[in-house]
Structure 1
């Protein structure tokens, strides 16, 4: 038969285990909160600029350092300012000074454009 003292010890061990599990889970960020690799590169010339459905994509004459699926960087519909900047550069014959992109799936996966800067000259 279990005594009150034994029950308290068991309850204390269970509480300590629960605290330890909570601490471990709290220290591990959820998958959505984990950082996505971002890459920044300079001096790109637009080879192809296109729209597909509600999104856009771009291909540069100079390849990215990372292998992007289909050799393009995608631009989501909510970031159409990036597309407008690329279109302005393309129409003016300007090169891209700096471009940043994310690749959540790792090398060889889809690249998502995150930032574009134009050359001033």
Structure 2
């Protein structure tokens, strides 16, 4: 249980470090950075779960520690899966159309009066 507890605690520190690092970066218009920033709270939640599992694995009797650690690891994996699913849904959502009125020189659509983009 010692090795499993230490591995859980190391994974918790890595997840927390990654989440905090992502949240401290400046906001960006890049979609990749937006998705990473949206998944950062999930990383922090995973860090808490893995940390709790690691501490219990080190402090509790072997049978109790094993059960709690397994529950915490399964919960952390499910949280990562749900957060990744939400991040993927965010990344693949339809992008809004460009505003033709503000960038008529670079727009390939008609910017004439009555265009659906300028109404």
TM range (shorter): 0.3 to 0.5
Structure-1-length-normalised TM-score: 0.34
Larger helix proportion of the pair: 2
Q: Which has the larger radius of gyration?
A: 1
